[in-house]
Amino acid sequence: MRTGKAYLECLPREKSWELWQNKLMSAGYFTDLPTETLPVEQALGRVTAGCTYAKQSVPHYNGSAMDGIAVRAQDTFGATETTPMHLKLLKSHEPFVPGGCYIIDTGDLMPAETNSVIMIEDVHIENASAEIIAAAAPWQHVRIIGEDIVANEMVLPEHQVIRPADIAALLSAGLETVEVVAKPKVTVIPTGTELVARSHDLKPGAILDVNSHMLCAAVTQWGGDAIRHEIVPDNYEQIKQAVIASLATSDMVITNAGTSAGTEDFTSRIFAELGEVLVHGVAIKPGKPVILAFCQGKPVIGLPGYPVSAMLTAELFVKDVLYERQRLPIPAAQQVPAVLARQLSSHVGVEEFVRVSVGTIQGKTVAAPLSRGAGIISSLIKAQGVLVVSERSTGLPAGAMVQINMFNRQQSETVLAVGSHDLALDILGVFLNRRSGKLLSAANVGSMGGIMAVRNNEAHIAGIHMLDDKTGEYNIPFVNKYLTKGNWQLVRLARREQGLMVLPGNPKNIKTLEELGREDITYVNRQRGSGTRMLLDHLVPRTGLRVEHITGYEKEVSTHMAVAATITAGAADTGLGIRAAATALGLEFIPISHECYDILLNFPPGDITAETIITILQTPAFRQEVERLGGYDLAEAGTVLLKM
Amino acid sequence: MRTGKAYLECLPREKSWELWQNKLMSAGYFTDLPTETLPVEQALGRVTAGCTYAKQSVPHYNGSAMDGIAVRAQDTFGATETTPMHLKLLKSHEPFVPGGCYIIDTGDLMPAETNSVIMIEDVHIENASAEIIAAAAPWQHVRIIGEDIVANEMVLPEHQVIRPADIAALLSAGLETVEVVAKPKVTVIPTGTELVARSHDLKPGAILDVNSHMLCAAVTQWGGDAIRHEIVPDNYEQIKQAVIASLATSDMVITNAGTSAGTEDFTSRIFAELGEVLVHGVAIKPGKPVILAFCQGKPVIGLPGYPVSAMLTAELFVKDVLYERQRLPIPAAQQVPAVLARQLSSHVGVEEFVRVSVGTIQGKTVAAPLSRGAGIISSLIKAQGVLVVSERSTGLPAGAMVQINMFNRQQSETVLAVGSHDLALDILGVFLNRRSGKLLSAANVGSMGGIMAVRNNEAHIAGIHMLDDKTGEYNIPFVNKYLTKGNWQLVRLARREQGLMVLPGNPKNIKTLEELGREDITYVNRQRGSGTRMLLDHLVPRTGLRVEHITGYEKEVSTHMAVAATITAGAADTGLGIRAAATALGLEFIPISHECYDILLNFPPGDITAETIITILQTPAFRQEVERLGGYDLAEAGTVLLKM
């Protein structure tokens, strides 16, 4: 029997970072920087390795800064409007004579013995003479040699990021090449027998290697030179050889374990054999199994296999090391205070990184936690930021004030949709972005959760489809019951078909809801509070069947698509859901009912977003795009049903 | 006689931008975006052209989320600590039997008919049986197909910048390529007969083409695909052919005129011949001669020849167009409020862009204007931001509250040095940056300006070398006279040699100050208030000579290096200055006197920067680096002379 993973002591993140940083500093990883020499015009964004000094002055000659005449200033003293003075116009090849002048253009070399320029606008030229009506000061309108940069002067100090204007300055100063800090070479080794490189080789149980591409992109974004190693299977000797070979050619080696158990143990033993393991296991979630080691003078990092864990641990333990190694400024994380939309539980002793959607609702910045699964890459796509929950916390109540580390410093305004999810919402998001530049971020918590989120001003939009068991009416009774005053309005999005999804060919020959009572049929259910669950609970008793008799009634999943996926996988025979979900996964669909999917809009007076959304719902382009999914009727889309 | 430049009406910037933006919008320049298809792993930082939809679900099978045993949940009901249950351990090839279970690792496919995983830590395995002490809920620790992303679901909406995690999501969803917005191709054409491509071809009157490299780098930074055209001389037909050829292969054409008069007129006539000139001349400084045109469906821009003008106008009229064309978010300019350190004059009717150094001094953010010359590329290097002076303003008084548009959002803390400049200050800046990460920014306003800047809390450091005519004492009498209470201290930096600089070989055979009275000798002077000027004015009368008898006494320049450069150019025979300046330009140096170059430090109590600077001044590495310049004695460096 396997003994489970043998973690070394699980260290707090700060302690891990300290050990890591101290080791790298004492080993000279941030000071003995390799450099390379580049043509100046290819050095954009690179960091100067040393101070650069001008090889020539800029300008390199005394030149005119204006179109005009070049004069000797002392010859002009005494000229005024009432006592104009006439200077003799000399040809450019003629030597200077006192009282003479030359026509000169901007940038032209000042003729010998002249030391001042009078602008052409202030000169009256007739025959071979120039009339002036004011004296010229010495060196006026002349660009003196070295006025900008003097030979041997420092042009750029060391460790400066080179910008376009710096390129101009270096070239002007006569430098054709510049020594810059070399990009750190980082090899990323994906390990795991279950990994496959391409999606057409993907069979159940196999995992597509996407992490190595994500990590290489992250390394690139952080200024490094990323090298992706081919996939190495879970074999001690093969992984070891891959690490040894990569150490020889890289400044940093990252292995990314598959999620299967064996790989990570191999990794840690290999690192220990080749050098020193500083940290194995950090008290964070996700990302706990990270390994920080130092082998042959180089940092070697074992990142966990789940994509979210891999990305977050790379940000914690790779990013700043790469920036510092290159002397690139570390981008400061922007923090915003926000109100937590939902209660969050947490374990003492583990620092947790929770992805959140962030939006401003009625003047209040709200953070809505997204899925916390380490495997849910889409949560990283949808998140606007991360909430760090302290290792001393047992959790946070809804409404708590929290600090969110924002992912992008450049934020679009976010419209938060919390409630029952529908594919039409994603399409609404695209149209809204086109019209207003706003970003729609959707969190799926069911219809009831949506109404509550609007009531608490924690959502701009809530998608709901709730059937009142007594009246048979959709949504309006619930909104009237739970919402009182406010700025909300209830708007029709679509009528959509609900039905039973079954495998192609309908192998169990299911036709009606009554048949869910059959012993040979297993059902997959939606969670309590979801509109689909309410529809089922409304309809089933009317057929004479009792829900307790449905096999699988207790198997709850939280989206239409998860119902469809469960059926596709053969883990259930049927489930109730919308046609679009069945279509998406190629299932057959047995229509049972129509329901009204409406949206609650919650924007303050004067905010035109609600208007914009209603307009979008009424446009033919939006309606066609949604109806194309199948099972939708948008004839009433954009109708305001209730307004407060 | 030339008639001067025939500008069309000079338009305000906002009006120019409006005409420009409207033309490009109405021509579909921001909507009909060319696209290209890239392998997903090469799409980092690119912008999705359309919405991307998943080709496969993620995960694509029901898999275990833990190491443990796979069971059928209903078989486990009733297991408790007091009534443990035993499940039969099945081999992976054996078919499922009720009450059976399989050993399963994280990521493994769930065996047929199992629907739940019990963690290995909660299982006691003995012989062929697994003892459990709690019931398993259906689907616990199982990653259900589509839990993350469902086939056909939207993975990324249109016009989204692709980040590392997005690459993972796209690949996971079965996408191997992604359609992205193509990078706009921008051809930059340097024009001007006086331009040369390489610095070894540089003769007086010739100008090194650095702008095209700078502009190509800027285009690259703004996401474009920059193509540098070779230099085109000032010839109507040649420039026209270059524009026509570039239009055929580019999405935007930029010409960059030389500073000589003819080029710009050609440019505007050519644009008018090939299309429509929207704007010729904008009421801004620098950058007035910019030309905005639209030819053959493409924007064509004539940027002015001075590097600062070219860069600022590119930022005004090219940057946002490129961002918008790619649907990249336009980085918001960070604005900071600051106190203006010096009075600024300005002309009504012209909006002026003034480069400034910005630092926080005793709790007050101060902006010190740098050189305003359009040709002073070093001012762009030294600046931390730009102050925009309204076209309605006649100027701003010292102490005015202004808004500064910062260049980089990521700022190092800046130490402002205002006063007399010395090359040793640049070296001090490098050492300070190494120790504290702070950036030293120096503005050269002479010794007296430095004392005043410290008095007004507009400088952290002031370099001074002022000789008291009465006592013959350096610096201390002036500090005592002008500074009262405060946090400042006066610290010795160096004794440095002052002397007369002359051409190699000393052609006029100058040996002493008295000889400045000779008729055949022209002198180049420093500005009033500078320490060198005070030294001259102190020493000359003691030789019996009167300053009025020095030819060129009225020719003022503002730096040691400008004095040296003036002599190198033959525009004066000699001037007083420090040995380092003579050495830099290969001049001969006739020592006249030693002077004390000290620095005033002005940091609040508790700020360790003053300490750090004093420590640096005392280190042998710093002293050697400065003494290497020649003419410096740092034996007393770091000695505190006065303290308040």
For residue A54, what is the domain's CATH number? 3.90.105.10
Element (H, E) at B481: helix B476-482
Q: Is residue B426 part of a domain?
A: no
**In whole numbers, what is the pLDDT of chain A averaged over residues?**
91
Work out the pLDDT band at A1, boundaries 50, 70, 90: very low
For B88, the domain range is: 63-143
Query: How far is the C-alpha of A114 from the C-alpha of A95, rounded, in Å?
Result: 11
CA A88 to chain centre: 69
Element (H, E) at A308: helix A307-317
- A131 and A267 housed in the same domain: no
Q: Which of A38, A36, A16 is nearest to A185 (CA)?
A: A36
Q: Is residue B420 part of a domain?
A: no
CA distance B299 to chain A (A): 22
- A187 and A214 housed in the same domain: yes
pLDDT for the residue numbered B112: 85
- Of B221, B412, B566, which is closest to A164 when you measure between CB atoms? B221
- Of A105, A143, A166, which is closest to B375 when you measure between CB atoms? A143
A61 close to B (CB below 8 A):
yes
Query: How far is the C-alpha of A280 from the C-alpha of A255, rounded, in Å?
Result: 14
- B348 and B486 housed in the same domain: no
The runs of H, that is alpha helices, within B173-277 are 211-221, 236-249, 261-274
- B622 and B480 housed in the same domain: yes
Last residue in a domain, options B368, B394, B411: B411
CA distance B526 to chain A (A): 13
pLDDT of A279 > 70? The answer is: yes
The whole-number average pLDDT for the span A406-411 is 68
Regions of chain B where pLDDT drops below 50:
1-8
- Of A213, A377, A554, which is closest to B148 when you measure between CB atoms? A377
- Residue B621 phi, psi dihedral angles, 5° rounding: -60, -45
Q: Is residue A5 part of a domain?
A: no
B373–A147 CB contact, under 8 Å: yes
Query: How far is the C-alpha of A420 from the C-alpha of A444, rounded, in Å?
Result: 6
CA B623 to chain centre: 30
- B572 and B610 housed in the same domain: yes
- B219 and B260 housed in the same domain: yes
Query: If you count DSSP H runs as helices and E runs as strands, how many of each does chain B have, helices first?
Result: 16, 38
Helix (H, G, I), strand (E, B) or coil at A102: strand
pLDDT for the residue numbered A262: 57
B311 close to A (CB below 8 A):
yes
- B199 and B279 housed in the same domain: yes
Beta strands A632-633; A488-502: pairing state: antiparallel
Nearest CA in chain A to B218: A164
- A472 and A619 housed in the same domain: yes
CA B88 to chain centre: 69
Last residue in a domain, options B164, B181, B198: B181
Nearest CA in chain B to A40: B213
The whole-number average pLDDT for the span A582-595 is 90
Q: What is the DSSP letter of A514?
A: G
ipTM of this complex prediction, to 2 decimal places: 0.89
In this structure, what CATH number is given to the domain that contains residue B593?
Answer: 3.40.190.10
The whole-number average pLDDT for the span A185-198 is 94
In this structure, what CATH number is given to the domain that contains residue A389?
Answer: 2.40.340.10
The whole-number average pLDDT for the span A227-239 is 95
What lies within 8 Å, CB to CB, of B343 at 6+ separation is: B395, B396, B397, B398
The whole-number average pLDDT for the span A207-230 is 97
CA B588 to chain centre: 37
For the record, the structure tokens of B276 come out as 């429509």
Q: Which of A308, A191, A202 is nearest to A260 (CA)?
A: A191
- A132 and A20 housed in the same domain: no
A570 close to B (CB below 8 A):
yes
pLDDT for the residue numbered B562: 78
Cα distances (angstroms) measured from residue A499 to each of A510, A580, B483: 11, 10, 86
pLDDT of A199 > 90? The answer is: no
Q: Is residue B348 part of a domain?
A: yes
Q: What is the DSSP letter of B58?
A: B
- A176 and A212 housed in the same domain: no
A418-439 pLDDT, tens digit each: 988 888 999 999 999 889 888 8
Contacts 24+ apart (CB under 8 A), B611-616: B612/B432, B612/B435, B612/B436, B613/B428, B613/B432, B613/B461, B613/B491, B614/B491, B614/B638, B614/B640, B615/B435, B616/B428, B616/B431, B616/B432, B616/B435
pLDDT for the residue numbered A253: 98
pLDDT for the residue numbered B120: 92
pLDDT for the residue numbered A606: 85
pLDDT for the residue numbered B2: 34
pLDDT for the residue numbered A6: 43
pLDDT for the residue numbered A3: 35
Q: Is residue B106 part of a domain?
A: yes
A381 close to B (CB below 8 A):
yes
Q: Is residue B309 part of a domain?
A: yes
CA distance B129 to chain A (A): 12
- B292 and B316 housed in the same domain: yes
Is-contact B256 B212, C-beta < 8 A?
Answer: yes
- Of B143, B168, B213, which is closest to A167 when you measure between CB atoms? B213
On the CB side of B497, how many CA atoms lie within 13 Å of its CA? Answer: 18
What lies within 8 Å, CB to CB, of B466 at 6+ separation is: B447, B448, B474, B475, B478, B531, B534
Chain A residue numbers with beta carbons less than 8 Å from the beta carbon of B157 are: 426, 429-430, 433
Q: Is residue A343 part of a domain?
A: yes
- A513 and A539 housed in the same domain: yes
Query: How many domains is chain A partitioned into structurally?
Result: 5
Q: Is residue A22 part of a domain?
A: yes
Is-contact B113 B58, C-beta < 8 A?
Answer: no
pLDDT of A566 > 90? The answer is: no
In this structure, what CATH number is given to the domain that contains residue A76?
Answer: 2.170.190.11
pLDDT for the residue numbered B261: 54
- Of B105, B143, B429, which is closest to A260 when you measure between CB atoms? B105
pLDDT for the residue numbered B264: 65
Last residue in a domain, options A181, A204, A230: A181
